[in-house]
Amino acid sequence: MKPILTISGITYLIILLTTSISSAQVVADANVSANIVTQVSISRIVDMTFGEIKGTTIAGTVVLTPAETRIATGGVQLVPGKAETATFTIDGQGSYTYSVTLPSYTMATAAGNTHIIVDNFKSLPAETGSLSDPLTLNVGATLNVAPDQPTGHYTSATPFDVIINYN
């Protein structure tokens, strides 16, 4: 009879432990929600052009500010004419903040595989801001003209990227 009591006692303890563990549980619940916002978008309106310039035996630069002002340094001379910043339209969720990532540089090539470097990209408005309505973004940069830079029409083989993200 002792073995029956021992088995009965063990069974009773297991039921007792299981019952006390089960009754120690508590439950909480939570809801799930999501807010899908308007995707941020960017569209190119105008390509960047530094206009016509004249190089010399002295290296120099042409700075095209985001406000569309051309400034020559070194041996570069500006020829009167039209220069334009790259212009983009940014759109997205109203009142959200955004950031702009500009390239570090790009290269333009003329016939004969001659290269010229464009760097120091800047934007107006600044590289961070808040969206309220579709926004116009102007991007300027610096054209680096080598001494005796060969004449020609220089253009980028691939467009440069301007990246927009929500903060």
pLDDT of residue 63: 98
Is the residue at 9 inside a domain? Answer: no
* pLDDT above 60: residue 129: yes
Helix (H) or strand (E) holding 163: strand 163-166
pLDDT tens for 8-21 read 667 666 665 665 55
Is the residue at 36 inside a domain? Answer: no
pLDDT of residue 133: 80
Is the residue at 92 inside a domain? Answer: yes
What is the secondary structure of 56-93 as a DSSP string? -SS-EEEEE-TTS-EEEEET-EEPSS--B-EEEEEE-S
Is the residue at 16 inside a domain? Answer: no
Residue 90 or residue 22, greater confidence: 90
Range of the domain at 106: 41-166
Which candidate, 26, 19, 79, places its Cα nearest to that of 49? 79
Q: In the predicted model, what is the mean pLDDT of residues 15-39?
A: 79
pLDDT tens for 72-99 read 999 999 999 999 999 999 998 888 889 9
pLDDT grade for 38, boundaries at 50, 70 and 90: confident
Is the residue at 2 inside a domain? Answer: no
Contacts of residue 104, Cβ cutoff 8 Å, sequence gap at least 6: 119, 121
Domain count for the chain, please give it.
Answer: 1
106 touches 160 (CB < 8 A):
yes
Helix (H) or strand (E) holding 21: helix 2-22
* pLDDT above 60: residue 3: no
Is the residue at 101 inside a domain? Answer: yes
Is the residue at 152 inside a domain? Answer: yes
Task: State how far the alpha carbon of 84 is from the alpha carbons of 47, 66, 72, 162, 164, in Å.
Answer: 7, 9, 15, 16, 21
Q: How far apart are CA 119 and CA 133, in angstroms?
A: 29
Q: In the predicted model, what is the mean pLDDT of residues 25-44?
A: 92
